[in-house]
Amino acid sequence: MRFELTPRTTVSPVVRALAPVAAFITAFLIAGFVIWLMGRSPVAAFQVYVIQPLSDPWSLQELLVKATPLALIAIGLTYCFRANFWNIGAEGQYVIGAVLGGWLALKTHGTEAGFWVLPAMLVLGIIGGALYGLIPAFLKTRFGVSEILTSLMLVYVAQLTLDYLVRGPWRDPKGFNFPQSVTFDPSATLPPVWEASRVHYGTVFALIAILVTAVVLGRTLFGYRLKLTGDAPRAARFAGFSARSTTLAVFAISGGLAGLAGISEVSGQIGQLQPSISPGYGFTAITVAFLGRLNPIGILIAALVVALTFIGGESAQIMLKLPLDLTQAFQGILLLCVLAADALVSYRVRLVSRGGGK
Amino acid sequence: MFSRSLMGVLAGAAALALSAGGAAAQQKLKIGFIYVGPVGDYGWSHQHDVGRKAIEKAFGDKVETTYVESVPEADSERAIEQLARTGHGLVFTTSFGFMEPTLKVAKKYPNVKFEHATGFKRAPNLATYAAKFHEGRYIIGQIAAKMSKSGTIGYVGAFPIPEVVAGINSYFLGAQSVNPSIKIKVVWANSWYDPAKEADAAKALLDQGVDVIAQHTDSPAPLQAAEARGKFGFGQASDMEQFAPKAQLTAIVDNWSDYYVARTKAVLDGTWKSEDTWGGLAAHMVVMSPYKNMPDDVKKMAEETEAAIKSGKLNPFKCPVVKQDGTEVECKGNGALSDEQVLGMNFYVKGIDDKLPQ
């Protein structure tokens, strides 16, 4: 006896749209059951985990803050993944963007440098991330090296470069030798979108990136070219699309957006360079990209949902004294349910007896 | 029908949560903790959690405690603020990397009292505290030199920050005081808590002929590696005897309980002030677990050294302190290095055959 997946010939758009909703309900039912087994109230947990963060202006803002780097990086990764290139190293591109942009902030620290500093930092962040993303792309086009390995390994190079800089040349001279830079001047700080908020302009950049990407992927030749390269590389070649320039382009875009996320986070949220500037955004964004099905609007929603699981998880620890492990388990359950729902919508599962298979 | 009953349940849960929160806030002092690692690490965060439980035990119904564990340093501001805005009157943030976020939140919530471990930035409602672990490390250095047959002792360090560097120097000065020709090897794990990396670091040391290992990382892995090879080691942060009954000579135990209880009492009495606390063996913030697996004369020496440090007769950094390059460090304290010099230490003492990464 074994299971066999056969593709469904027709899938109604309604079913496809409802699949994630069903996945969410299933995930909450499973998590609720676990919470009930632990002797707590699943209803109270749902209230703290979901309803409360979504009904309180403060946590809604925090949701945007947390979702911003995830959305920016994931939207960049969409270009790569659509064309079937595996950029696993967004975390490294994020770090290098922050390093290059942060360099200018440190250079101009304590000087009278004016309004140009911040825009220049952002541009440097994009350039840094893009150049760093081009390394695995170049190695792939020139030598045929797997971009999965090189992009991932370059993450560690980037992290250790930042580590070296903040322990050595960029260390705050007044910081008791602790590994961190000076805090950025106001002229190098990404301002909040509205007063006294933690929501910085990175959120605006993320929204712009999502809108632009929706147009590029849906309505331009370049978007079509990515889809064709991903779905039918031979057809793309026959159509005259150069695989080489596609590779370089998607890695530059993806790296640039990750770099923008990095410099936005450092100048808008953290306010200085330190050994760790990301709790793994570059990797979580891969999950976000797939949860959002490589669709710009889907990614916006997925980034918010993933951010919600983090914030709800903290609330659950504080309000209900539920352990962090449960939050992480829930994130896993949620991803699994969404992927399973996707598979069940696209494929029919049949139980076949061993003999009848072949 | 279904949706209406669901709404009713949710509204009821919300009302319940709100009323419970309101009632608790009036009577109890809510105390929050932010941990950098999991409470189950048996090291740094675990010991802070022991302190949290000591508060609950000492004050019973008068307090309520909460913790958020494994909070990434680059994304900690939200978790800290969430404690401040959910009615916590006293918040402990227990890792160096929480310094800037704690400062930011403290400015926003002037009525909440904050305590930051191992940092140096204070505010009217933000106190700092740390412990002189290097006092204990002088004692284990002496024990290590006595117990080593190969004449080479080892050290697994987390990050080359002043606190860790001061610990290595103190350990080595202690060892030198009983065996002037002792040698030391240092390996950096570049993590506070990574059992696999810590074990690898310990094995690398053992392979190089080291037979006694000290560690400034939080898991019992290095100690367990020593146990597996029939060598010796020291527990870090908590008594780790259960993990290595034959290898653990003693452990440098962090004891935050007395401090946490005293600070809680100060808040309840209305006498809390922002100040800097740096206590060692005498203040009972650093405690040596029972000396075991060693001959009686070594045990006696260790006990005498412990008594001498407690009484103030012995300071591990008594002048003259000589750097690796042979230059003498300016003596800014009273017959020993000043607190500031120890807190900002970024040099190795003479005799350490290793280059300090910076």
Residue B211 has pLDDT above 90, yes or no: yes
CB contact under 8 A, B344 and A183: no
**What pLDDT shows up at residue B13?**
46
Q: Who contacts A104 (Cβ-Cβ below 8 Å, separation ≥6)?
A: A117, A120, A121, A124, A188
Query: Any CB–CB contact under 8 A between A197 and chain B?
Result: no
The alpha-carbon gap from A321 to the nearest alpha carbon of chain B, in Å, equals 7
Question: Is B14 contained in some domain?
Answer: no
Same domain, B99 and B44: yes
Question: Is A86 contained in some domain?
Answer: yes
Indicate which CATH number applies to the domain containing B323.
3.40.50.2300
Same domain, B232 and B93: no
Compare CB distances from A276 to B70, B74, B340 and report the shortest one's residue: B74
Question: Is B22 contained in some domain?
Answer: no
Q: Who contacts A191 (Cβ-Cβ below 8 Å, separation ≥6)?
A: A200, A201, A268
Question: Is A327 contained in some domain?
Answer: no
At which of B111, B131, B151 does a domain end? Answer: B131
Supply the range of the domain harboring residue A217.
Answer: 69-303
What is the number of domains present in chain A? 1
**What pLDDT shows up at residue A123?**
98
CB contact under 8 A, A179 and B344: no
CB atoms inside a 10 Å sphere around CB A63: 23
Question: Is B3 contained in some domain?
Answer: no
Residue B129 has pLDDT above 90, yes or no: yes
Same domain, B61 and B99: yes
Query: Any CB–CB contact under 8 A between A331 and chain B?
Result: no
Q: Which positions in chain A touch B190 (Cβ < 8 Å)?
A: 163
Report pLDDT digits (tens) over A252-296: 999 999 999 999 999 999 999 999 899 999 999 998 998 888 999
The alpha-carbon gap from A340 to the nearest alpha carbon of chain B, in Å, equals 26
Nearest CA in chain B to A280: B72
Q: pLDDT: is B8 or A161 the higher one? A: A161
Query: Any CB–CB contact under 8 A between A195 and chain B?
Result: no
Question: Is A98 contained in some domain?
Answer: yes
Least confident piece of the model among B10-24, B127-141, B251-265: B10-24
**What pLDDT shows up at residue B358?**
61
Question: Is B348 contained in some domain?
Answer: no
Is B116 strand, coil or helix? strand
Nearest CA in chain A to B70: A324
Residue B23 has pLDDT above 50, yes or no: no
Q: What is the pTM of this model?
A: 0.83
Query: Any CB–CB contact under 8 A between A320 and chain B?
Result: no
Residue B2 has pLDDT above 50, yes or no: no
Average pLDDT over residues B10-19: 44
Alpha carbon distances (Å) from A328 to A284, A312, A316, B26, B342 = 12, 11, 12, 33, 40
Nearest CA in chain B to A168: B358
The alpha-carbon gap from B145 to the nearest alpha carbon of chain A, in Å, equals 29
Supply the range of the domain harboring residue B197.
Answer: 133-254+286-343
CB atoms inside a 10 Å sphere around CB B7: 10
Nearest CA in chain B to A262: B74
Same domain, B207 and B318: yes
**What pLDDT shows up at residue B9?**
45
**What pLDDT shows up at residue A113?**
79
Decide: B285 and B258 in contact? Cβ < 8 Å.
Answer: yes
Decide: A276 and B73 in contact? Cβ < 8 Å.
Answer: yes
Average pLDDT value for chain B: 90
Compare CB distances from B72 to A176, A276, A317 and report the shortest one's residue: A276
Same domain, B82 and B109: yes
Query: Any CB–CB contact under 8 A between A167 and chain B?
Result: yes
Question: Is A343 contained in some domain?
Answer: no
Q: State how far the Cα of A123 lies from the Cα of A101, in Å rounded to an integer.
A: 8
Alpha carbon distances (Å) from A84 to A190, A240, A292, B210 = 34, 18, 16, 50
At which of B131, B158, B174 does a domain end? Answer: B131
The alpha-carbon gap from A183 to the nearest alpha carbon of chain B, in Å, equals 9
What is the number of domains present in chain B? 2
Same domain, B107 and B62: yes
Same domain, B55 and B194: no
Same domain, B188 and B291: yes
Q: Which positions in chain A touch B345 (Cβ < 8 Å)?
A: 177
State the best of B31, B65, B75 to mutate against chain A, taking most chain A CBs within 10 Å. Answer: B75
Q: Which positions in chain A touch B70 (Cβ < 8 Å)?
A: 324
**What pLDDT shows up at residue B22?**
43
At which of B81, B112, B131 does a domain end? Answer: B131
Query: Any CB–CB contact under 8 A between A275 and chain B?
Result: yes
The confidence band for B5, taking pLDDT boundaries of 50, 70 and 90, is: very low
Q: Who contacts B65 (Cβ-Cβ below 8 Å, separation ≥6)?
A: B30, B31, B32, B33, B52, B53, B55, B56
State the best of A63, A68, A178 to mutate against chain B, taking most chain B CBs within 10 Å. Answer: A178
CB atoms inside a 10 Å sphere around CB B87: 18
Compare CB distances from B100 to A41, A65, A272 and report the shortest one's residue: A272
Same domain, B107 and B47: yes
| Nearest alpha-carbon partner for A263 in A79, A96, A61, A37 | A96
Decide: B165 and B346 in contact? Cβ < 8 Å.
Answer: yes
Is B345 strand, coil or helix? coil
A37: tokens are 């087994």
Alpha carbon distances (Å) from B31 to B60, B68, B119, B125 = 12, 12, 20, 14
Report pLDDT digits (tens) over B298-331: 999 999 999 999 999 999 999 999 999 999 999 9
Nearest CA in chain B to A317: B68
Q: Which positions in chain A touch B161 (Cβ < 8 Å)?
A: 177-179
Question: Is A336 contained in some domain?
Answer: no
Question: Is A177 contained in some domain?
Answer: yes
**What pLDDT shows up at residue A354?**
64
Same domain, B60 and B184: no
CB contact under 8 A, A311 and B78: yes
Same domain, B173 and B74: no
**What pLDDT shows up at residue A165?**
95
**What pLDDT shows up at residue B4?**
41
Nearest CA in chain A to B14: A47
Question: Is A85 contained in some domain?
Answer: yes
The alpha-carbon gap from B102 to the nearest alpha carbon of chain A, in Å, equals 12
Same domain, B103 and B149: no
Q: Which positions in chain A touch B64 (Cβ < 8 Å)?
A: none
Question: Is A240 contained in some domain?
Answer: yes
- Enumerate residue ranges in chain A where pLDDT < 50: 356-358
Burial (0-12, 13-18, 19+ Cβ within 10 Å), A33? exposed
